[in-house]
C-alpha cells in the first residue's frame, strides 16, 4: 500500500475539505434532488437527472478523498534528512539545457500545486529527483526528450 506523505497543513486542508463535502455538499445535493423531484415526471426531468449525476460525482470525490485520508501519513519536516531529495524537501535546481535555476517543493499528489511550485513526488520530475544529492544530475524523460537538472541545494521551506 502506498502512503500519501503530507505536511500537517496539507492534511488539515484535506480533512476540512472532506468534512465540507460530507456535510454541506451532501446537503446541497439532496436539496437539489428534492427540488427537481417536485417538478413532476422523473422520466423526462432533466434537472433531476443532472442533480443525480452531480450527487454521483460528489460521492466519487468523497470516496477519493476518504481513500487519500486513510493512506495519509503526516511527516514532521524538521526531522527530514537533507542529505538527499525526499518528499517534503525543497530543492533548487538548474536546468542544464537552458542554464536556468528554479525551486520546487516536493509533496504528495494530494498537495501538488504547480502555481505554488509544489510538485508531486509521483510526477516525472519529482520521482526523478528523489534520492539525488547536491551536485548530482537527474535525467528526466519528458515528451520533449530527456532533460537534465543539477541539484544545487536541498532545504526545508
Three cell numbers written together for 153: 541545494
Delineate the domains of the chain, giving CATH numbers in brackets: 4-74 (1.10.287.180), 77-155 (3.10.50.30)
Is residue 155 over pLDDT 90?
Answer: yes
The residue with greater pLDDT, 81 or 59, is: 59
Minimum mean pLDDT range among 7-11, 53-57, 83-87: 7-11
pLDDT at 2: 67
Chain centroid offset of residue 144 CA:
24
Is residue 1 over pLDDT 60?
Answer: no
Threshold 0.75, pTM exceeds: no
- Segment 9-24 shows an average pLDDT of 92
Which residue from 66, 75, 84 is spatially nearest to 19, judged by alpha carbons? 66
pLDDT at 36: 85
Q: What is the pLDDT of residues 50-80, one digit of tens each?
A: 899 999 999 999 999 998 888 888 887 777 7
- Segment 98-117 shows an average pLDDT of 92
Three cell numbers written together for 26: 451532501
Three cell numbers written together for 91: 530543492
pLDDT at 99: 95
Q: What is the pLDDT of residues 109-139, one digit of tens each?
A: 888 899 999 999 989 999 999 999 999 999 9
Which parts of the chain fold into alpha helices (H)?
8-20, 26-37, 46-70, 124-129
d(CA 46, CA 129): 49
Contact of 91 with 104, CB cutoff 8 Å: yes
Place of cell 518528499: 87
Please tell me the total number of residues recorded for the chain in this structure.
Answer: 157
% of the chain surpassing 90 pLDDT: 59
Amino acid at each position: 500500500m502506498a502512503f500519501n506523505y503530507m505536511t500537517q497543513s496539507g492534511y488539515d486542508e484535506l480533512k476540512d475539505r472532506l468534512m465540507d463535502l460530507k456535510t454541506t455538499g451532501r446537503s446541497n445535493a439532496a436539496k437539489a434532488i428534492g427540488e427537481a423531484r417536485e417538478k413532476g415526471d422523473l422520466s423526462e426531468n432533466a434537472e433531476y437527472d443532472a442533480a443525480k449525476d452531480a450527487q454521483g460525482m460528489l460521492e466519487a470525490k468523497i470516496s477519493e478523498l476518504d481513500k487519500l485520508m486513510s493512506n495519509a501519513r503526516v511527516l514532521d519536516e524538521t526531522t527530514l534528512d537533507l542529505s538527499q531529495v525526499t518528499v517534503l524537501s525543497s530543492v533548487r535546481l538548474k536546468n542544464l539545457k537552458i542554464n536556468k535555476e528554479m525551486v520546487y517543493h516536493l509533496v504528495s499528489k494530494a498537495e501538488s500545486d504547480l502555481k505554488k511550485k509544489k510538485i508531486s513526488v509521483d510526477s516525472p520530475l519529482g520521482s526523478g529527483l528523489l534520492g539525488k544529492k547536491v551536485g548530482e544530475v537527474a535525467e528526466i524523460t519528458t515528451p520533449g526528450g530527456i532533460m537534465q537538472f543539477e541539484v544545487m541545494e536541498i532545504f526545508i521551506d
